[in-house]
Amino acid sequence: MRIGLFGGSFDPVHHGHLLAARALRERLALAEVRLIPAGMQPLKREGHRAAGEHRGRMVELAVRDEPGLACDAIELERKGPSYTIETVRELSRRMPGAAFTLLLGSDAAADLPRWREADALRALVEIVIFHRAGEPPVEGFVSQCEVPAVQLSATEIRARVAAGQSIRYMTPDAVVDYIAAHRLYRGEGE
């Protein structure tokens, strides 16, 4: 069974993430794509705006009715920095016999040489780089896939919430409701 691993801040998760996950699952014939909210990202200095429990819950809500997509909170459950190599090793222990495909956006692919045990990671998983339609492929990677070009960003969503603007249609309704109910992202830009 081939399982795609799609990590990120998901701060918050939005339709761009979901469209990419769905397209990658279909194009690569993956049994499932697991969206993995990062705990503490070692290469991301500014950290996350929402706590891990909120980011994880938003991903759960976003994929709850999406066959073939799932939330995996493995990195939120672990203390300390979230190293992908540790995540893959733990998932391999939990799911013997599964083959994992690491799905990396073109921006994350540029940082791959700086990741902990990058060579060991390449030996454990297939790595597929995805980029928006119309963008050039990333040099140095054989396996690449285009995903729908959607101009959405978590930064923009957070800014809209802070400004009191609607985020409807940018993220699933359940996530919009969760953000409102928990008053997330209201302090940005103050």
Q: Where are the domains of the chain?
A: 2-148
Summarised one tens digit per residue, pLDDT across range 16-62 is 999 999 999 999 999 999 999 999 887 776 778 999 999 999 999 99
Q: CA dist 175 to 52, 144, 164, Å?
A: 15, 30, 16
pLDDT score, position 38: 93
Q: Which residue has the higher pLDDT, 168 or 109?
A: 168
Through-space distance between the first and last CA atoms of the chain, rounded to whole angstroms: 47
pLDDT score, position 190: 30
- CATH superfamily of the domain spanning 2-148: HUPs (3.40.50.620)
Q: What is the largest CA-CA distance in the chain?
A: 50
* Model pTM score: 0.92
pLDDT score, position 21: 97
Summarised one tens digit per residue, pLDDT across range 138-174 is 777 778 888 888 889 999 999 999 999 999 999 999 9
